[in-house]
Structure formats: structure tokens, C-alpha cells
């Protein structure tokens, strides 16, 4: 079979809900099926004397609608686990199931499709294209997905509005504050309506006020839009916005606790700089 046919088949598989491609008994048990399940996941970098076990057998279930903060010392395996869950890397051993589908058995192409269809990413450094408007940055994932220009325009404008940036569509990153740039990055991550948002230290480059605003926005996306969020953070204050806090130590899950009182979000979450400037922005 040609690789083109393989990739066509992958496209068909990924175009339908993943649960439709799992076995009958898994469908019957759908309620209990976690969105993400890691079982005995290991990751080895290098080999021989240089071998390093970054993950030593991680078990975790993440259900749809959860907001999980991932903490732990530097080098404990947080990014490695996020990269595996984000289909950016593969485990050396163990199982990774996404809605019951064995991700570790997928081809590179299939993993890329899963990533584009179901996962959104937010990084510490925003990772926006510098000389490109907010609107065009947010349209990018839709371009990869083959959306028409009209749809790209409409969906990106809607995503920017949902992060409080209506009126800022034509600004480039240099014309935006750090908090606003992270909002653009979040709009870019949610414009494809992913099931899971993976955020790697999303407030790491922001002052405390902007950090709180970004956390309120993430909480709102979780609570009001049902997006499952996994967020790596070093900051205990930011972790307290999550409903569950897991801690990695030395390549293993050390603690996994429910946060009974996540930080409450305010009803109107339009940050001061955005509200003031949007009032004066020319949107013509």
C-alpha cells in the first residue's frame, strides 16, 4: 500500500470522533473512559552509559473537563510527559490511550493528525510569528487544516474576541503587551476547538497581574467551554486555579491531589490594558 493511501486512511480515521474507532467493549464503557490514560509510560534518552530514564513508569488518567496543574522540580519529567501527551514525542515503553485509542501504536502521520485535530498548545514564550498580525497568527492552524479564507477569518476573529482581544486583530506581537501576546497564543490554540489545551508554563514570562488574568482566562475556557487543560507550572499560586494538582519527582508521579477550592474567577474578565485600548482602537 502506498504511503499516500496510508495517509488517506489515517485522514478518514481521524475525521470521525476517536471513540468511534475503538473496540465495542470500550464504547460500551465510554462513560468511564478517560480522555487520556498513561500506563507504565517510560522515556529513555540516549543509550548505554549515557542512558537517562526521564520517565520511569507513569500511570495517570485525565478525564474530559479536568483542569490539571503539573508541578515538580526541574528535571523531574514534566515536559517529557507533556511532549508525549501532546504527540510531539513517543514513549519508550508503556501505553498512551487517547479516548481509548493506542497512540503509541500510531504512525507519525496519524499522531500529527491527532495533534492537529484534538490538541492545542500554549508555551511560556508565546511563540507567535513576529511580523504577522494577531489575526494571521490565529488563522495559521486553520490554514494547515485547509479551511477557506472566509472561515479562517471568521473563526480567528471569534477566537480573538473570546480572549478579550476584539479590536486588536491587526496588531503585530511587538504592538501588544506580554499578556496580550499570550492571549493571542491562547486564541491560536483554541481556534480549532481542541479537546485538550496543553500549556507549558503559560505565565512564566508575565508579571503577577498579567499572570492572574491569563489564569482567569484559562479557568473560564475550562469552566465555560469545557476544554480540558493540562498546565505545567512552577508557581504554586497559579496551580491553585486548577482543580487537580499532580507532582512529578524523579520521573514518577509523586502526588496527585484534588484542589477542593480552585481560585474563583471573576464574571467579567477583560483586563485593564485590553479594555482601555480596545475602546480607542480603530477597527475599520
In the shown chain, the binding pattern of residues 216 to 255 toward ligand ADP, with x for contact by CB under 6 A and - for none, equals --------------------------------x-------
SS (H, E, C) 22-55: CCHHHHHCHHHCCCEEEEEEEEEECCHHHCEEEE
Stretch that binds ligand ADP, among 70-78, 167-175, 223-231, 276-284 (CB under 6 A): 70-78
Q: Which span (78-86, 113-121, 263-271, 272-280) binds ligand ADP, by CB under 6 A?
A: 78-86
Name the 3-class secondary structure at 96.
strand
Cell (9 digits) for 281 = 482602537
7 in Cβ contact with 108 (< 8 Å): no
Phi, psi angles (nearest 5°) of residue 229: -125, 135
Measured CA to CA, the distance from residue 240 to residue 249 in angstroms comes to 19
Size of the site for ligand ADP (CB under 6 A): 13
- Out of 2, 3, 47, 74, name the contact with ligand ADP by CB under 6 A: 74
Which of 11, 28, 51, 52 touches ligand ADP (CB under 6 A)? 52
Residue closer to ligand ADP (CB basis): 70 or 159: 70
> 3-class SS at 218?
helix
Question: Can you name the residues that pair with 258 across neighbouring β-strands?
Answer: 244
Q: Between residue 248 and residue 277, which ones bind ligand ADP under the rule CB under 6 A?
A: 248
Q: Decide if residue 78 touches ligand ADP (CB under 6 A).
A: yes
Q: Exactly one of 62, 77, 142, 229 binds ligand ADP (CB under 6 A); which one?
A: 77
Side by side, the strands of the sheet bearing 52-62 are 52-62, 36-45, 93-98, 101-102
Closer Cβ to ligand ADP, 58 or 128, answer by number: 58
Q: Pick from 71, 72, 134, 188: which binds ligand ADP (CB under 6 A)?
A: 72
> Which is nearer to ligand ADP, 45 or 144 (by Cβ)?
45
72 or 164: CB nearest ligand ADP = 72
Name the phi and psi angles at 157, rounded to 5.
-65, -40
Query: If binding is defined by CB under 6 A, does position 76 make contact with ligand ADP?
Result: yes
Strands 119-123 and 196-200: parallel
Q: Which residues bind ligand ADP (CB under 6 A)?
A: 45-46, 52, 54, 72, 74-80, 248
Amino acid at each position: 500500500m502506498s504511503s499516500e493511501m496510508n495517509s488517506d486512511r489515517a485522514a478518514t480515521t481521524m475525521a470521525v470522533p476517536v471513540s468511534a474507532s475503538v473496540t465495542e467493549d470500550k464504547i460500551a464503557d465510554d462513560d468511564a473512559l478517560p480522555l487520556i490514560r498513561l500506563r507504565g509510560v517510560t522515556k529513555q534518552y540516549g543509550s548505554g552509559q549515557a542512558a537517562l530514564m526521564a520517565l520511569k513508569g507513569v500511570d495517570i488518567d485525565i478525564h474530559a473537563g479536568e483542569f490539571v496543574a503539573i508541578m515538580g522540580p526541574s528535571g523531574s519529567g514534566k515536559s517529557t510527559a507533556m511532549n508525549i501527551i501532546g504527540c510531539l514525542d513517543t514513549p519508550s515503553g508503556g501505553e498512551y490511550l487517547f479516548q481509548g485509542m493506542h497512540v503509541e501504536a500510531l504512525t507519525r502521520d496519524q499522531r500529527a493528525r491527532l495533534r492537529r485535530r484534538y490538541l492545542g498548545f500554549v508555551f511560556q514564550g508565546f511563540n507567535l510569528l513576529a511580523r504577522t498580525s494577531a489575526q494571521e497568527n490565529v488563522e495559521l492552524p486553520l490554514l494547515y487544516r485547509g479551511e477557506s479564507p472566509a472561515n479562517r477569518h471568521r473563526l480567528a476573529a471569534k477566537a480573538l474576541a473570546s480572549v478579550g482581544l476584539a479590536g486588536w486583530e491587526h496588531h503585530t506581537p511587538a504592538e501588544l503587551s506580554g499578556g496580550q501576546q499570550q492571549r493571542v497564543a491562547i486564541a491560536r490554540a483554541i481556534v480549532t476547538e481542541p479537546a485538550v489545551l496543553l500549556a507549558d508554563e503559560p505565565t512564566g514570562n508575565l508579571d503577577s497581574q498579567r499572570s492572574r488574568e491569563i489564569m482567569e482566562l484559562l479557568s473560564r475556557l475550562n469552566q465555560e467551554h469545557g476544554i480540558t487543560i493540562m498546565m505545567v507550572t512552577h508557581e504554586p499560586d497559579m496551580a491553585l486555579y486548577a482543580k487537580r494538582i499532580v507532582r512529578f519527582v524523579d520521573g514518577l508521579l509523586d502526588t496527585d491531589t484534588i484542589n477542593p477550592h480552585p481560585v474563583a474567577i471573576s464574571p467579567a474578565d477583560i483586563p485593564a490594558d485590553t479594555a482601555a485600548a480596545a475602546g480607542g482602537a480603530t477597527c475599520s
